[in-house]
Structure 1
Amino acid sequence: MAKIKYCNPKTMAPPGGHYSHVVVANGSAYISGQLPITAAGKQLNAASFEEQANQVLANLQAALEAVGTSISKLVQVRVYITNMSNWPLFNTIYANWAGTALPARAVIPVSELHYGFLLEIEALALVE
């Protein structure tokens, strides 16, 4: 029987609903949608797109590290973005963050996100 591990790292704000930041099952880490919220729980909805993007990626990295994996083990990343004119800037920030990792990726334009945030990211990574 497959074992499921739920993880809410202390390096991240507690989840804002009935979910876990990361679920590990069958050698994979499923990372819930990460929003631009600091570890202290501050919502960065008034921050610039660049600040929001950097915080979301920091949250994603914290989630990966909490279950013993890393950016290099990402398999797929899904990005929800409210304004496609921010995509070129996001792509640059993301490329610098991801380095040589080239996971499959999708961008999904959305009309809005919780609390007026500008982007959200969810991901799948291997845990070895």
Structure 2
Amino acid sequence: MSIQLISPDTVLTPKGHYSPGVIHNGIVYVSGQLPLNKEGKAILDSIEAQVTQCMHNIALILDASGSDFQHILKVSIFISDISFWPKVNETFAQIMGNHKPARIVVPCKEFNYGASVEIECIAAVK
């Protein structure tokens, strides 16, 4: 079975040696997304704005992969401070609606660009 690399022009081109998404056997693996817009500007207004931007980037990668939020199997959310958890959880729930994929929230020390969150996911292709 082949491996398909996904790098849509709707998201920031990675500076590192990785693809924004990879498809294998009908599964999409989305690399960790920081709250950066297409131009590379960090969206740091609030933790809610950061989660929203990360999820927007994920939506664009999933769309380019033939998937969407309703097909997400697992989400990993990394946050720089565990006190952000309630707002992260609330924002994530608003974005995801009734779909509740498997999820982990991991407190971490720090992220590039002054971000407080990074989100990755695994999804099924529609």
Same fold by TM (over 0.5)? yes
Gaps of 5+ in 2: none
Shift of 1:16: 2.0
Partner of 2:98, secondary structure, is coil
SS at match of 2:13: coil
Q: 2:49 aligns with which of 43, 46, 51?
A: 51
Provide the residue aligned with 1:70 in structure 2. 68
TM-score by length of 1: 0.94
Q: What amino acid is aligned across from residue 33 of structure 1 in structure 2?
A: G
List alignment gaps of at least 5 residues for structure 1: none
Superposed CA RMSD in Å reads: 1.0
Partner of 1:110: 108
The letter of the residue matching 2:38 is A
The equivalent residue for 1:5 is 4
**How many aligned residue pairs are there?**
126
Query: Helix, strand or coil for the counterpart of 2:84?
Result: helix
The one-letter code matched in structure 1 to 2:11 is M
Would you say 1:95 and 2:87 are equivalent positions?
Answer: no
Q: Which runs of 4+ in 1 moved over 2 A?
A: none
* Deviation of 1:73 (Å): 0.3
Which residue pairs with 2:26 in the alignment? 27
Q: Note the alpha carbon deviations across 1:17-62, whole angstroms, 9 max, x for none.
A: 1100000001100000000000122122x43212111101111111
- State TM-score, norm by structure 2: 0.95
